[in-house]
Each structure stands twice: as C-alpha cells, then as structure tokens.
Amino acid sequence: MLAHDLQLLVDAAEASGKIARKHFQANPEIWDKGDGQGPVTEADLAIDRMLHSELLGARPDHGWLSEETDDNTDRLTHSRVFIIDPIDGTRAFIAGLDHFSHSLAIAEDGKIVAAVVHLPMKNMTYTATKGGGAFLNGQPITPSTQTVMDDAEILVNGSMMKPEYWQKSVPNFKRNFRPSLAYRVCLAAEGRFDAMLTLRPTWEWDVAAGDLIAQEAGAVVTTAQNQTPIYNNPKPQLAGMITAGAEIHRQLMDHL
C-alpha cells in the first residue's frame, strides 16, 4: 500500500515539475495573497489544480490540505489526508532561483506515512515511506553525526538568531539559509547540513514531507517545543521545527 502511495506522489511531483519548468524564468503572472501570506504565481495555482485532480482522483477517500486551496473542515473527517505545497519557495521561483521544491505527503491519523520533496531544476527527488527508509534519487541518506555545536552548519533564518529566542547565549554555529523549508529539512536529513531550525509558527504543508524523510533518514524531528509533530490539525500549523542528529538536537533544545 505505501509503495503504491509513494509512486503516486512521485508521479505527481514529476508532473508538478513539468508545469513549473514551463513558467520558470518566463515572467509568470504573480499575485499577492494579502494578510502577509506572500506571493502566488500562475504556476502555483496550475500545479495545485493538477494535483487536486490527479491525487484525489486516485484516492477519493482522502482529505485535502494544500497551501493554494481554500481550507475547510472536511479534511478533519478523513483518516488519510494529502498535505501539499505546490511550490515551496515561491519567492525563489519568482526570482529565477533553482532551489524551490514541490512538497507532497500523505498523513494517516496525524502521522506522515509517505512523502516526496522534488526539486525539478536540480533533478533531485527525496522520498520516504513509514518504516521504509529515506532516499535521494534512489540512494539511501543519513543525517550528520556532528556533535560540536561551534562546528555545526545549521540552516536558519537570521531572524531566529535574536537573543529573545534563547535561554542561554545564542549558540555559536555557522548559519546558512535556503528559501524552501521542505528543502531545508531534506538537507539536514541527508547530512549536507548538521541541522535546520525554524522557531516561528510553521504551516504543515511546508514541512510535512520533509518530516518523514528526515525521520526515516535517522534524524531527530520535533517542534521548537520538543514535541512530536502531529498533522492535519484544525489550524494546520506547528510550533516551529528542529531537525538534526541526536546530539546537535539535544544541544539546540538545551539553548532554547
């Protein structure tokens, strides 16, 4: 069952990439969603429509949660729910940068069981199923084994480094950044960086797929309050996210 779910998500992610490529660096139409939600492009909306049709067409008994679809409470009545970000990193996409991604996941009773994060312009596809391991382009991935905070390279927005977020002094790690949250989680999952963290409220669609990929790779994944993430909430937000190997995760939590 999970293998079929994963193949469905992979096929849908690749179809999303084909649509994105048509609009990439081609001056797509852009709108501001208002209320501080940021921009949306014609590519986001076209991908969302395609995914809604293809995924729910294949699994009509599933609920639906997507950044670009008006939310309703119907999804709360379903045991299994698609959690989708048609383009994660829309600002990067608009700017013509290649590290935007398509993030697709299936949650079952609040836990992610199948996940894909696809970066079409980089030809990178991260995949995972519950209990089945995590992979990049079919090759197994594992997180960093870094144990020294001062030597750690961590993906984090500069605004998270304000002293008010930290109980002790702000940790002295090396800071890096990528616009796509889904990609950040995956980069920590494969050990290219030692951790990623975001401390502000985080939409489920930004991190759902990356969560399972990181867990299956062997990383520790929690909210910023050190809780296990639960998905398909009435308000689909988490209290931030921290993804790292066990020792760096422990040290980060000790500082927060």
The residue from 76, 105, 140 where one domain ends is: 140
pLDDT of 85 reads 98
Same domain, 187 and 220: yes
* pLDDT tens figures, 60-112: 999 999 999 999 999 999 999 999 999 999 999 999 999 999 999 999 999 99
Could you tell me which residue, 27 or 234, shows the higher pLDDT?
Answer: 234
Same domain, 178 and 133: no
Average pLDDT of 209-236? 98
Same domain, 13 and 136: yes
Total number of domains constituting the chain = 2
Would you place residue 33 in the very low, low, confident or very high pLDDT band (cuts 50, 70, 90)? confident
Structure tokens at 7: 């193949």
Same domain, 16 and 117: yes
Asked whether the predicted pLDDT for residue 141 surpasses 90, the reply is: yes
Host domain of residue 33: 2-140
* Mean confidence (pLDDT) of the chain: 96
**pTM for this one?**
0.96
Angle, helices 2-23/42-58, rounded to nearest 10 degrees: 160
121 within 8 A of 22, measured Cβ to Cβ: no
Query: Distance between the two ends of the chain, CA-based, in angstroms?
Result: 40
* pLDDT tens figures, 220-229: 999 999 999 9
Structure tokens at 197: 């963290």
Same domain, 60 and 129: yes
Same domain, 31 and 128: yes
Look up the CATH number of the domain holding residue 126: 3.30.540.10
- One-letter identity of residue 73: T
Same domain, 102 and 134: yes
Would you place residue 38 in the very low, low, confident or very high pLDDT band (cuts 50, 70, 90)? confident
The residue from 112, 140, 168 where one domain ends is: 140
CA-to-CA distance for 94 and 96, rounded, in angstroms? 5
Same domain, 24 and 64: yes
Q: What is the DSSP string of 71-104?
A: --GGGGG-SEEEEEEEEE-HHHHHTT-S--EEEE
The residue from 115, 140, 165 where one domain ends is: 140
Same domain, 12 and 110: yes
- One-letter identity of residue 71: D
Same domain, 10 and 123: yes
